[in-house]
A and B are shown apart, each in its own frame.
Chain A
Amino acid sequence: MKEESKENLVCGLCAITSVFAFLLVWYLGCTFTALGKLLPDPITVLIGMWGYIVGTVGKCSLLMHALHSLQRVLIGFLIGSALGISLGLLMGRYRLARAIFNPIFRVIRPIPPIAWIPISIIWFGLGETPKIFLIALAAFANTTLNAMTGAESVDKTVINAAKMLGANEFQIFTTVVIPSAVPSIFAGLQVGISCAWASVVAAEMVKASNGLGWIIQAGMDNNNMTQIISGIIMIGLGGFILTYIMRTIEGVACRWNRSGR
């Protein structure tokens, strides 16, 4: 126990030292070299970012922009993952469903969601719909594949045992196939949420009037480096929080799985 806390202390000290050293290099680089003309030093960024949180960037404060992005991600992610999981489970369990949908899915999957941005703007205009469509697509592609693998790799013995005990197909699907696909589904959701977050940023960068992607894009248009870096920090923070939440849900939902291993 004591050994462990000592290890933690050393790790913490190293972490602080390296982050501090990085900030110091950044600061010195900005003050003493030509880099300072392009890049604001960390203190300026911090003050600027505080100003954005308390005051406004564009129409609302930095946190409100983050909420706008978050709202889009959540709506799109819910739609996309619900569709993806159901289709993936069907495709994994029934060969006929796979024969029908897999060729089409295979054409769509390798196209990165970002490449859909121009066409989704042509189809849905400039409002919320194209963004939600994109995020749903990003979530869909990742979850389908994982749900399919999960439903496919169910232990045949378990299915046969259920059959022997007189379970009908519906019961097998809901009580055997779906639960055993859950860990794999969560792996897909994990990838899906970070992909969805990247997509919302890209979509907002191309066309939006609020959101974190808009912040960095507007920062580029106004040549305002502080705004860009604040945006990047918030995007990183948002991505971190989303994956953290996802991991917590996974920990609760798959508790049996981890203890089983």
Chain B
Amino acid sequence: MLKKKKWGYTLASLVSVVTVLAAWYICINVLHLKAETVFPGPITVAKTFFQKLYTKAPDGATLLVHLASSLKVALLGYALGVVFGVPVGIMMAWNKWVDRFVRPLFDLIRPVPGLAWIPMFILLFGIGIMPKAAVIFLSTAVACIVNCYTGIRQTRQEHLWVGDVFGASDAQKLFRIAIPTALPMIFTGLRVAMGAAWMALVAAELLAASEGLGYMIQQGRYSSKPALVFVGMLMIGLVGLAMDVVLHWLEKKVAKGMNAE
């Protein structure tokens, strides 16, 4: 009975996906409600996707080359941001004096969305890899600091007292008690940061780039090839999802048994 019901829901999902695709196809390719130059049909999008795997027109590189260049920048900025953000967040939560001096500055920077820095960084660093990496670095670092800070602050006072009773040094208390407690939160931070980094990168590439997925969709718009824009958007979504899945898997591996979801 229960199994049958589950099948029914899967069927409903399938029917809904098929209906949307069919409606899309009928509206565009049969009824011609919108021109293909404005809203491409599903078949055109699929065709563009496969073509883009080996053709370089109109933006000078294949899909995979764009993807690789986006990923390279994103991972560079992300790695730097994590290496900087996680320790700073932990230090801020652990040491009262660091908190007092660094937090006011951090609170000033925090409400500014990462991508608002793009114009400034472009003027400072030019249009290379640097401004993008800097923007991603900033977005990543902010998300990491916030989450590490909250995570460490969640450490139960009782656990620290237990450490005190057994004569743990400050470093031991930090590494054996506080950081393991904060690990799930730190991982949440890493995932939020990944989302923020990817978004900032796309924004940066829309504004100033010569390759990358953001550049590709911008070119698709200029050469009025909306199918290309669709392909780029789906690719951006897919890669974002894939990176989130990887981090989630890593979280389950590393933070096993530490109330990871």
Contact = CB atoms under 8 A, between A and B. Distances in A.
Contact of B111 (A108, A228, A236): A236
A67 interface: no
A205 interface: yes
B206 A110 contact: no
B123 interface: yes
Contacts of B119: 205, 216-217, 219-220, 228
A257 interface: no
Interface stretch (B49-57, B84-92, B157-165, B230-238): B230-238
Nearest to A109: B237
Q: Is the interface of B mostly helix, strand, loop or mixed?
A: helix
A259 B77 CA distance: 42
A122 B237 contact: no
Contacts of A1: none
Does more than half of chain A's interface fall in helix, strand or loop, or is it mixed? Answer: helix
A43 interface: no
A110 B233 contact: no
Given A219-B119, A220-B123, A117 B234 contact: no
B13 A103 contact: yes
A205 B111 contact: no
Interface in A192-219: 194, 197-198, 201-202, 205-206, 213, 216-217, 219
Interface string A162-195: 0000000000000000000000000000000010
Contacts of A115: 202, 214, 217, 232-233, 236-237
A10 to B, nearest CB: 7
Interface in B158-179: none
A122 B229 contact: yes
B224 interface: yes
Nearest to B198: A112
Given A15-B100, A110-B241, A235 B13 contact: no
Given A22-B105, A119-B233, A102 B13 contact: yes
A116 B232 CA distance: 10
A86 to B, nearest CB: 18
Interface in B75-125: 97, 100-105, 108-109, 111-120, 122-124
Interface in B207-235: 207, 214, 217-218, 220-221, 224, 226, 229-230, 232-234
A232 interface: yes
B12 A112 contact: no
Interface string A92-124: 000110111111100111111111111101110
Interface stretch (A46-54, A55-63, A153-161, A237-245): A237-245
A75 interface: no
Contacts of A98: 9
A11 interface: yes
Contacts of B112: 232, 235-236, 239
Contacts of B117: 232
Given A101-B16, A118-B206, A220-B123, 4 more contacts: A119-B221, A119-B233, A201-B113, A216-B119
17 contacts: A15-B103, A18-B100, A18-B101, A18-B102, A99-B10, A110-B244, A111-B233, A112-B202, A114-B206, A118-B218, A118-B220, A122-B224, A201-B113, A202-B206, A220-B120, A228-B120, A232-B112
Interface of A: 10-11, 14-19, 22, 38-39, 95-96, 98-104, 107-119, 121-123, 194, 197-198, 201-202, 205-206, 213, 216-217, 219-220, 223, 225, 228-229, 231-232, 235-237, 239-240, 243
Which 8 A-B pairs rank lowest in CB-CB distance, beginning with the nearest? A198-B113, A220-B119, A111-B237, A15-B104, A14-B100, A118-B221, A99-B12, A236-B112
Interface of B: 9-10, 12-13, 15-17, 20, 38-39, 97, 100-105, 108-109, 111-120, 122-124, 195, 198-199, 202-203, 206-207, 214, 217-218, 220-221, 224, 226, 229-230, 232-234, 236-238, 240-241, 244
